[in-house]
Amino acid sequence: MIDPVNNFKIPEEWIVRTGLPREELEKNVASGMIVVLSDGSVLKRGYTTGTTASAAAKAAVLSLRKTVDSVSVPTPVGLRAYLEVSESSPGRAVVKKILNDHESDITRGLEFVGEAREAKGITIFGGKGIGVVRRDGLQVSKGKPAINPKPMEQIRAAVQEAVEELGLQGAEVTISIPEGERIGKETLNSRIGVEGGISVLGSTGFVEPWNDHLGETKGDLIRCTDRVVLTTGRIGMRYSHMLFPDYTVVMVGSRISEGLDNASGNVIICGLPGLVLKWGNPKMLEDSGYVTVVEMLEMAPEHERLKEAFEMAVDKGKGARIVVIDRDGSVLMDSKSEKQK
């Protein structure tokens, strides 16, 4: 049985421990909505802000011609997401971000509002409650709504489905989050240059149920192999599979040290600079004049602190190979190459 969100093959003994009928478990796993843990526990994934925004946008377009009480949208991993529409009127729809087993997800239950009108082509606008990028160096250009590229693609694809279903030439859709500005103040957005609301994010379309139990599960997986890549996120996972096809790739997020404690044999730490370098030196941005590692890389690629943080990551890795990649998979730093110089 394969978890389709992270392509993890669930061990048979884990499946048995759930005590659930196999047909029921297979259906739930295939939907992407549950994670099976080593002790047989089952946790519920949620949908990202990107998926929720996509649902609100599609429902708003569909509501131009019919009543909508539920909607299905594509996700970046190829699965379909199914969400209820809590309110619908011509050209307007409201979708709530579903509850999940992510203990610190403060966006659970937030309402996303889509407002649509017929137009030529497809245009997506960020309304009230979606933050605006005020600094360079982020995935979204300065002055634009904080809707990351992957969820923007997802939103456009969902709207395209609605446009084709209704036979329209196109649609203009504005997505807003009424409580977004209030929730945004509880996040780190203002520190990284996003103001006035929250960001619309999500590289898979699903929210992982990160908690202590899942940490233990990752430890089980890491301990079961002697050739492992510890990676920080979805992009790192994708390119790690390509760069190191003979290794087991495990996504540990910011828990690099925890993953390293469970690992043995040949270990590689691979990921984007923001997590890997800050893991090496958590204070690398202090008094630097830069808010993010990405900003430092773009504005001052030869900055001494980048090299220093990388060297500290190598020391902290206790013999693990450290590989820092860009968002397109390009290798920016590799401790194996450094040693060969």
Provide the pLDDT for residue 14.
Answer: 83
Q: Is the pLDDT of residue 241 over 80?
A: no
Provide the pLDDT for residue 339.
Answer: 54
Q: Which residue has the higher pLDDT, 260 or 222?
A: 260
Task: Name the band, by pLDDT with cuts 50, 70 and 90, for residue 124.
Answer: very high
Task: Name the band, by pLDDT with cuts 50, 70 and 90, for residue 280.
Answer: very high
Domain ranges of the chain: 2-43, 47-206, 211-340
**Cα angle 51, 56, 59; round to 5:** 120
Provide the pLDDT for residue 104.
Answer: 63
* CATH of the domain spanning 2-43: 3.30.1990
Quickly tell me which residue has 């619908």 as its tokens.
88
Distance, CA of 127 to CA of 97 (rounded, Å): 17
Distance, CA of 27 to CA of 325 (rounded, Å): 35
Cβ atoms of 284 and 304 closer than 8 Å: no
Q: Is the whole model's pTM more than 0.85, yes or no?
A: no
Q: Which residue has the higher pLDDT, 157 or 330?
A: 157
Provide the pLDDT for residue 294.
Answer: 85
Q: Report the percentage of the chain scoring pLDDT > 70.
A: 94
Q: Is the pLDDT of residue 213 over 70?
A: no
Phi first, then psi: what are they for 290, rounded to 5°? -115, 145
Provide the pLDDT for residue 56.
Answer: 98
Provide the pLDDT for residue 340.
Answer: 43
> What is the CB neighbour count within 10 angstroms for residue 41?
16
Q: Is the pLDDT of residue 81 over 70?
A: yes
Q: Quick one: how far is CA 221 from the chain centroid?
A: 21
Task: Name the band, by pLDDT with cuts 50, 70 and 90, for residue 212.
Answer: very low
Provide the pLDDT for residue 90.
Answer: 97
CATH number, domain 211-340, options 3.40.50.300, 1.10.10.10, 3.30.470.20, 3.40.50.10720 = 3.40.50.10720
First to last CA, the chain: 44
Q: Which residue has the higher pLDDT, 6 or 264?
A: 264
What is the second-level CATH architecture of the domain 47-206?
2-Layer Sandwich (3.30)
Distance, CA of 36 to CA of 42 (rounded, Å): 5
pLDDT averaged over the chain? 89
pLDDT in tens, 15-73: 999 999 999 999 999 999 988 876 788 888 899 999 999 999 999 999 999 999 999 99
> What is the CB neighbour count within 10 angstroms for residue 305?
18
Q: Is the pLDDT of residue 168 over 70?
A: yes
Six-digit token string for 144: 């634009």
pLDDT in tens, 302-329: 999 999 999 999 999 989 999 999 887 8
> What is the CB neighbour count within 10 angstroms for residue 2?
11
Closest to 262 (Cα-Cα) out of 333, 311, 318: 318
Contacts for 329 with CB less than 8 Å, ≥ 6 apart: 238, 239, 242, 243
Q: Is the pLDDT of residue 142 over 60?
A: yes
Q: Is the pLDDT of residue 332 over 70?
A: yes
| Most distant pair of Cα atoms in the chain: their distance | 65
Work out the average pLDDT over 77-83: 96
Provide the pLDDT for residue 58.
Answer: 98
Q: Which residue has the higher pLDDT, 252 or 101?
A: 252
pLDDT in tens, 89-118: 999 999 999 987 765 678 889 999 999 999
Six-digit token string for 18: 């759930």
Q: Is the pLDDT of residue 341 over 50?
A: no
